[in-house]
């Protein structure tokens, strides 16, 4: 299993540009989520999904869109990038909390995004 994969690893954008951060998992996990990590702020939840076709907002959703058309993929879209979105982005996945197999969240390696 590849686990949770994220692409790209690094990205530089100009203000106003759009882009999609890709996240995929091959563990048949129902739950997927996106976090951003900023110095001194820990990891903050952007959006999450409890299954294909279902998404919900986290703590800091503004400026980001998500969709979950398949169990495997959970892309994060920046519609019009702003310097405040400069951050490291982590995708995570897990079994449903109601599943006896639930044990932890698995994290991808992260995407480092800079918005100029």
Partner 1 sequence: AQSVTQPDIHITVSEGASLELRCNYSYGATPYLFWYVQSPGQGLQLLLKYFSGDTLVQGIKGFEAEFKRSQSSFNLRKPSVHWSDAAEYFCAVDDLSGNTPLVFGKGTRLSVIA
Task: Write out the two tokens for 90.
Answer: 């982590």
Where in 10-29 is the site for partner 1 (CB under 8 A)? none
Where in 97-116 is the site for partner 1 (CB under 8 A)? 97, 103-105, 107-110
d(CA 44, CA 103): 21
Closer to partner 1 by CB, 64 or 90: give it.
90
- Which residues fall within 8 angstroms of residue 80, CB to CB, at 6 or more apart? 16, 17, 18, 63
In 3D, which of 87, 55, 83, 68 has the Cα closest to residue 22? 68
* Binding span for partner 1 by CB under 8 A among 15-23, 40-48, 70-78, 79-87: 40-48
Residue ranges binding partner 1 (CB under 8 A): 31, 33, 35, 40-45, 48, 50, 56, 58, 90, 92, 94, 97, 103-105, 107-110
């Amino acid at each position: 299993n590849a686990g949770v994969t994220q692409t790209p690893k690094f990205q530089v954008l100009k203000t106003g540009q759009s882009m999609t951060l890709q996240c995929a998992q091959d563990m048949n996990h129902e739950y997927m989520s996106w976090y951003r990590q900023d110095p001194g702020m820990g990891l903050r939840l952007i959006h999450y999904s409890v299954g294909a076709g279902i998404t919900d907002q986290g703590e800091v959703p503004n400026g980001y869109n998500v969709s979950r058309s398949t169990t495997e993929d959970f892309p994060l879209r920046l519609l019009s990038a702003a310097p405040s979105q400069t951050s490291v982005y982590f995708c995570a996945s897990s079994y449903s909390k109601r599943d006896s197999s639930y044990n932890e969240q698995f994290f991808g390696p992260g995407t480092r995004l800079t918005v100029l």
